[in-house]
């Protein structure tokens, strides 16, 4: 998991890789909590390098979406691999999240929604 | 039939998935089915650690995989407390986000992704879970 540089104080862009399971999900939860504690309210999460997501990984993303809603923030999932999208579909989570093609598309949408950044 | 034994720790999950993927691929499942089988076993093992053992490093997880006619049969054994997932309510996949409860999603995945999911608690010393996945005809 690495963090992209971005000019904003309120937007975090996270790149996930490997497996998001019961072992690794707590790390993502901590990372998101840390971002929120430093003032981030919007998130772009890039899943392009993710090979697997379990129910615990989905719950971390769901709770992050809830936290964003509470902070009036925006939450985007980008470049979700097909097999992983099936898990979102099966869990009924697909209609909860906003999916974008890639980070650039999410950034463009974010700039429109935040209009000013 | 191939059998592997892992420590009941979340750090075992990656190696367990590698084993399941390798065996499913050798049984000639397609990538989507291999991912489904991986998910079902991963969720089952996470539940064993969380619920049967009630924590990490308190026991083992034994996984046996056998190719059967047109599919694969997976037997997972632990010696934790009997944990019957049928007693867990199914997850809420319809309600608005704010109303969702965090439970039952793993078991829901197992049942939806596999053709058969069957628990046997008749042996007082071991819990046995049998899951079967068949190839699409």
Size of the A and B interface in Cβ pairs below 8 Å: 67
Q: How confident is the model at residue B137 (pLDDT cuts 50, 70, 90)?
A: confident
Please list the residues that pair with A11 across neighbouring strands: A42
Q: What is the DSSP letter of B43?
A: H
What percentage of chain B exceeds 90 in pLDDT?
Answer: 76
Query: Which of A55-59, B11-15, B37-41, B101-105 shows the lowest mean pLDDT across its residues?
Result: B101-105
Maximum CA extent, chain B = 45
Model confidence pLDDT, tens digit, residues B105-121: 999 999 999 999 999 88
- Cβ <8 Å between B10 and A23: yes
For residue B50, the chain A residues in CB contact (below 8 A) are 22
Residue of B nearest to A89 (CA): B93
Q: What is the pLDDT of residue A5?
A: 46
3-state secondary structure at position A116: coil
User: Beta strands of A26-102 (E only): which ranges?
Assistant: 42-53, 75-78, 98-100
Cα(A86)–Cα(A78) distance, rounded to whole angstroms?
Answer: 15
Model confidence pLDDT, tens digit, residues A12-47: 999 999 999 999 999 999 999 999 999 999 999 999
Look at residue B96 and tell me whether its pLDDT is greater than 80.
no
What percentage of chain A exceeds 90 in pLDDT?
Answer: 89
Which residues, in sequence order, are CB contacts of B44 under 8 Å at separation 6+?
Answer: B76, B106, B110, B129, B131
How confident is the model over A93-106, as a mean pLDDT?
96
- Cβ <8 Å between A92 and B113: no
Look at residue A3 and tell me whether its pLDDT is greater than 60.
no
Give A37 to chain B, closest Cα distance, Å: 22
- Cβ <8 Å between A87 and B39: yes
Look at residue B102 and tell me whether its pLDDT is greater than 70.
no
What is the average pLDDT value for chain B, to the nearest integer?
91
Look at residue A4 and tell me whether its pLDDT is greater than 60.
no
Model-level pTM? Answer: 0.92
Answer for the pair B127, B79: CB distance below 8 angstroms, yes or no: yes
How confident is the model over A72-85, as a mean pLDDT?
97
How confident is the model over B92-112, as a mean pLDDT?
75
Q: Structure tokens of B85?
A: 């997932």
Reported ipTM exceeds the 0.85 cut: yes
How confident is the model over B83-108, as a mean pLDDT?
71
Model confidence pLDDT, tens digit, residues B50-91: 999 999 999 999 999 999 999 999 999 999 998 777 776 666
Residue of A nearest to B31 (CA): A83
- DSSP run (H or E) holding A101: none
Please list the residues that pair with B127 across neighbouring strands: B78
- What Rg value do the Cα atoms of chain A yield, rounded? 13
What is the average pLDDT value for chain A, to the nearest integer?
92
Q: What is the pLDDT of residue B91?
A: 67
Sign of the dihedral through C-alpha B109, B113, B115, B121: negative
């Amino acid at each position: 998991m690495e963090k992209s540089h971005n000019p904003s104080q309120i937007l975090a862009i996270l790149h996930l890789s490997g497996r998001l399971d019961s072992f690794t999900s707590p790390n993502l939860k901590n990372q998101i909590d840390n971002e929120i504690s430093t003032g981030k309210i919007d998130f772009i999460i890039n899943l392009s390098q993710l090979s697997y997501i379990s129910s615990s990984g989905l719950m971390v993303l769901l709770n992050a979406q809830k936290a964003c809603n509470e902070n009036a923030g925006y939450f985007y999932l980008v470049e979700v691999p097909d097999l992983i999208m099936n898990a979102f579909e099966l869990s009924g989570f697909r209609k909860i999240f906003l999916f974008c093609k890639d980070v650039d598309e999410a950034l463009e949408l974010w700039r429109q929604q935040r209009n000013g950044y | 039939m191939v059998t592997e034994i892992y420590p009941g720790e979340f750090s075992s999950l990656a190696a367990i998935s590698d084993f399941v993927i390798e065996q499913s691929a050798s049984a000639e499942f397609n990538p989507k089915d291999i991912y489904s089988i991986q998910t079902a076993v991963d969720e089952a093992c996470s539940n064993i650690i969380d619920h049967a053992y009630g924590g990490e490093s308190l026991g083992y997880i034994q996984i046996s995989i056998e190719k059967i006619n047109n599919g694969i049969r997976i037997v997972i054994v632990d010696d934790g407390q009997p944990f019957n997932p049928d007693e867990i309510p199914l997850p809420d996949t319809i309600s608005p986000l704010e109303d969702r409860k965090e439970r039952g999603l793993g078991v829901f995945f197992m049942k939806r992704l596999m053709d058969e999911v069957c628990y046997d608690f008749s042996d007082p010393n071991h819990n046995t879970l049998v899951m079967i996945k068949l190839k699409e005809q």
